[in-house]
Amino acid sequence: MIIDTIYLLPLARIAIDTDLLEAIAKGRASLKFEEIAINSISIFELQAKAARLSVPAEFVIKAVEVITSSFRIIPFHRSDIIELSYQLKTIIPDYLDCVIIATAVAEKEDLVTEDSLILAQADRLEKEYGIRVMSYREIVRQ
């Protein structure tokens, strides 16, 4: 399962309502830590969001250490991911989101996200690219 960047934010002490990693740790999700993969662009995106929110660097450094030691990381610069991300630009306007979706497509993995634009295209992405796109609420038992 490819997870979107939003679910990594709590590792840098950025609070979100949909803390997927906490739900997994508490056994409330139909997903296990060892099944999670991310695109390396998510590490950059986490750093950028944390910097914009003035999160102390030491929190971000610790988050990056946890991410790199805990999850499978797929490079954003793989040629298949670049090609797919360019195709996806016709569906999703945010290029970083295209890279994350392209990672799911290239790896033949489902994607979990809270991004409303991606979720709105879930049926199309499944039909055209063979990936399921889900949200926190579809994975976590309330």
Quick: pLDDT tens for 93-114: 999 999 999 999 999 999 999 9
Which structural domain, as residue segments, surrounds residue 122?
Answer: 2-139
pLDDT band of 62, cuts 50, 70, 90: very high
Angle between helices 41-52 and 95-107 (to 10 degrees): 150
- Amino acid 105: pLDDT: 98
The yes-or-no verdict on residue 69 having pLDDT over 80 is yes
The domain tally of the chain equals 1
Sign of CA dihedral 36, 40, 42, 47: positive
Neighbours of 62 (CB within 10 A): 14
Per-residue pLDDT of 24-55, as tens digits, reads: 999 999 899 999 999 999 999 999 999 999 99
Contacts of 103 (CB under 8 A, 6+ apart): 2, 37, 38, 39, 74, 76, 81, 109
Domain containing residue 32: CATH number: 3.40.50.1010
* pTM metric for this prediction: 0.95
pLDDT band of 141, cuts 50, 70, 90: confident
